[in-house]
Amino acid sequence: MTAVHGAVLRVGVLGHGAIGANVAGALRRGAVPGAVLGGVLTRGGDAAVPASVPDMRGLLASADVVVEAAGGPALREHGPAVLAAGRDLLAVSVGALADEDLFRELTRLTAAGSGRLLVCPGALGGLDALRAAALAGPLTRVRLTSSKAPASLVQPWMDEPAADRLRALRPGDSPVTVFDGDAREAAVRFPRNANVAATVALAAGDWASVRVRLLADPDTPLTRHVVEFAGPVGEYRFELGNLPDPANPATSGLVAHAVLRSLADLVPGAAWRVA
């Protein structure tokens, strides 16, 4: 559980790349009332980074909640220690949770009364409605269709002709389907695109029933996600078009702000919020 010292929520940030630096900077500027930057842990313990701490021990001492913004391997390496220390863990590299062993270990720690594992919606939205509909009864359909720049979908396991076909797509060409399968397989085969599929699966409460299509679309600078679901209380469809983060074209600019929104919801004592 988030332990709040005094009146503020102290935030530790793991990773100081596009998302981490943006979140840390915004916290320093007071962008989230009631939350302050506790510490930042970079890979090399870079002392030039404001609020830098040398190691995970230092980060845990500085924070009530730790934001993981450092990638799947870092979530695997540090997530258990964060939870075992009784700190909440706000995970951004959600695709790593497709690893059943990691998910089991993290949730076992939370069940033991340690910190909570919190999944940041990241590049997505509408998860409140998805979770509500899933609570109403079994969903009959959950679909995610993501359209991205072709080059971002090239994977090391693709053979050269397949990779070249993606790289050769030019504006005006029709989008190409590069994957059609379930959410866990999407997370494994397209790890850099796994976060959104994993987030939908976790919100729906079921990996196997989430059908994911990935399209290489040479025609737009936006990364588009269409989420569709149906169940006993209705049919839903929402679409997001994200521009890239200027500091990292593989990350949507929305993500750092989604982290700040998640943190705002953890600050106790707010007079009102959209919950």
Ligand X SMILES: NC(=O)c1ccc[n+]([C@@H]2O[C@H](COP(=O)([O-])OP(=O)(O)OC[C@H]3O[C@@H](n4cnc5c(N)ncnc54)[C@H](O)[C@@H]3O)[C@@H](O)[C@H]2O)c1
Looking at 5, 16, 78, 225, which residue is catalytic?
225
Is there a contact between 198 and 187 (Cβ–Cβ < 8 Å)? Answer: yes
Q: What is the x/- site pattern for ligand X, positions 232-251, by CB under 6 A?
A: ----------------x--x
Nearer to ligand X, 56 or 129 (CB): 56
- Residue 123 counted as an annotated binding residue: yes
The CA distance from 227 to 146, in Å, is 9
Please name the helix (run of DSSP H) or strand (run of DSSP E) that holds residue 40, with its range, or none.
strand 35-41
239: Cα separation from own chain's centroid: 17
Should residue 19 be labelled a site residue for ligand X when binding is judged by CB under 6 A?
yes
Binding of ligand X by 41 (CB under 6 A): yes
> Which residue of 53, 153, 255, 259 would you call a contact of ligand X, by CB under 6 A?
255
Q: Is 69 or 118 the residue whose CB approaches ligand X more closely?
A: 69
Is residue 23 within 8 A of residue 14, CB to CB? The reply is no
Measured between alpha carbons, how far is 13 from 74 in angstroms, rounded to an integer? 12
Would residue 257 show up in a list of annotated catalytic residues for this protein?
no
Tell me how crowded residue 235 is: count the other CB atoms within 10 A of its CB. 11
Closest residue to bound ligand X by CB: 17
Residue 14 CB partners (closer than 8 Å, separation 6+): 20, 41, 59, 66, 67, 68, 69, 70, 74, 78
CB of 94 to ligand X, least distance (A): 5
**Cα–Cα distance, 157 to 18 (Å, whole number):** 27
Write each residue from 122 to 161 as x if it is in contact with ligand X (CB under 6 A), else as -, in one continuous string. xx--------------------------------------
Q: Is 195 annotated as a binding residue?
A: yes
Residues that bind ligand X (CB under 6 A): 14-20, 41-43, 69-72, 74, 77, 92-94, 122-123, 195-196, 248, 251-252, 255
Catalytic residue positions, numbered:
225
Query: Residue positions in the annotated binding site?
Result: 123, 195
